[in-house]
Amino acid sequence: MNLAIIGYGKMGHEIEKVAKDKGMTVRTIDSSAEDVDYKEINEESLGGVDVCVDFTHPDSVIGNIEKISKFKKNIVVGTTGWYDKTEEVKKVIENAGTGLIWSGNFSVGVNVYFKIIENAAKIIDKLDDYDVFVHEFHHNQKADSPSGTAVMLGKILTDNIARKSKVVTEELKRKIEPAELHVSSTRSGTIPGTHIVGFDSVADTIELKHTARSRQGFALGAVMAAEWLQGKKGFYDIDDMMKSIVQ
């Protein structure tokens, strides 16, 4: 496989390492980074590429998807913070006749964690004494808050707990409403990513926690997604890939 990495930051370096270890040919594209193969997404930089992997910035990812789609290349999107443009991106992919897979977190471990949370939520749905919360920690360079992973956790919980219908991510300076789920964030240091889902009652607290030790897990999942997406058409999320692996 010939892989193009769009965005040569910390994640881009990790993906390059994992992809080369798998025997892939890799080229790097980044307008602001040093020591890259190309500065721009164009016909030359994407020539012969099978799949592109985008880990850039919320402000640039939509433009990148549009450019890459024009050259009929499939795309793995690990960039977060663009989900309000999902319908727009779906149309771009449909019109181009290409494939895209996205996730707020490509770590295989995190996606196992999502399944655990889904099953736990279905149990808690039957136990009205338990309230629910999500809290996440990330490094102080992360561009978005809450994380894409936390947003996905919020959706899983509200989809499976009938009494929770709205995710609230801002600072609360009022009493939280019963139907609201509070998703909160901390940014500090070099934390790769920690997510906690809590179920709290008068009697006890149950916490389910995932802690990333490094970015390697995200990179491994992103490269796995690129392999899975090769030759496919359509708009996918990580759950589509996980279903094909674990079911």
pLDDT tens digits, 9-26:
999 999 999 999 999 999
pLDDT number for residue 183: 97
How confident is the prediction for the chain on average, in pLDDT? 95
pLDDT tens digits, 73-89:
999 999 988 999 999 99
pLDDT number for residue 67: 97
Architecture of domain 108-211: 2-Layer Sandwich (3.30)
pLDDT number for residue 119: 96
Query: Which token pair is 33?
Result: 């980074």
pLDDT number for residue 243: 85
Residues known to be catalytic: 138, 142
Long-range CB contacts for residues 8-16, cutoff 8 Å, separation at least 24: 8/33, 8/35, 8/36, 9/33, 9/55, 10/215, 11/55, 11/78, 11/215, 11/218, 11/219, 11/222, 12/55, 14/215, 14/216, 14/218, 14/219, 15/53, 15/55, 15/219, 15/222, 15/223
230-238: average pLDDT? 95
> What CATH number does domain 2-106+215-246 carry, 3.40.50.720, 3.40.50.1100, 2.40.160.20, 2.60.120.380?
3.40.50.720
pTM of the model: 0.76
In angstroms, the CA 228 to CA 95 distance is 21
Element (H, E) at 225: helix 216-229
Say yes or no: do domains 2-106+215-246 and 108-211 share a fold: no
pLDDT tens digits, 116-165:
999 999 999 999 999 999 999 999 998 889 998 999 999 999 999 999 99
- For the chain, domain boundaries: 2-106+215-246, 108-211
pLDDT number for residue 143: 83
pLDDT at 246 over 80: no
pLDDT number for residue 27: 98
